[in-house]
Amino acid sequence: MSAEHADYLRKLKRRTRLTRALRTALFILLILAWDGAGRTGLLDPFIISSPLRVVRTVASLYRAGELFGHILTTFYETVVGFVLGTALGVLIAAVLWFVPLFERVLDPYLVVLNALPKIALGPILIVWVGAGPEAIIAMALLVSTVVTVMTVLAGFIEAGRDKMRLFETLGATRTQAFFKGVLPASVPTVMSALKISVGMSWVGVIVGEYLVSRRGLGYLIVYGGQVFKLDLVMASIVILCLLAAIMYYAVAFAEKKIGARFGRQ
């Protein structure tokens, strides 16, 4: 290893440590500001709750044996919706890339469906699949699939624009061009779509739980708002943030590993 490369790695490590330290400091500062705003009366603690009250609420749910039931319900619905939505979205994007006529015909419909507030379709989904977890998963599936299709398809089209002429010159079929060139080149786009799909899946599940659920974090938020237990609302939101962060960083970790693998090839 050259001295210049070693110096670069040291600077990179210092920058990484600085970034992590600043993130931690910002998190602590936000918690202190939240707590201080309630203690000093700057904001009404009944409305914004406080870190200590959130911890007490979570502890109360745990002692009542309800905490993990609500968490696992929401997490299960989100993971299923995320996996199915991502797989279906990538598959549909691939089909639309293979058949450009389909892509041109369906493009305005995808735009309209993406712009449509998905909560408007909630009552229809409940009638179609029933008022249970299936409706919630269907809502998450609908929200994440459309975004995934549009994002991944754009990546396929951009990658194909650069590579298709080369593959056609070499006599490759469209299928060979897709699996040998377009798909590998679109891995960063697909992983970016996964990151977006994580957030969309959480949105879909919470919206679904608002409508039909009697269990889950979305249900706790609705129930807490109805009976003015805002500590319960804030505690549920904090738990949601933690779970969403875990899923996001899991996807980011997978992106790093897959990117490194394709980078070596």
The pLDDT of residue 235: 92
Structure tokens at 106: 């369906």
Structure tokens at 71: 């968490």
The pLDDT of residue 75: 92
The pLDDT of residue 260: 60
Find out whether 251 and 191 touch, Cβ atoms under 8 Å: yes
The pLDDT of residue 259: 63
b/e map 128-158, b = 16+ CB within 10 Å: eeeeebbbbbbbbbbbbbbbbbbbbbebbbe
| Alpha-helical regions (H) of 116-186 | 122-129, 133-169, 174-177, 183-185
Closest CA to 238 of 83, 48, 86: 48
What residue ranges of the chain have pLDDT lower than 70?
A: 1, 160, 162, 259-265
The pLDDT of residue 264: 46
The pLDDT of residue 47: 82
Find out whether 180 and 107 touch, Cβ atoms under 8 Å: no
92-96: Cβ within 8 A, 24+ apart: 92/145, 92/149, 93/148, 93/149, 93/152, 93/153, 93/156, 94/156, 94/178, 96/149, 96/153
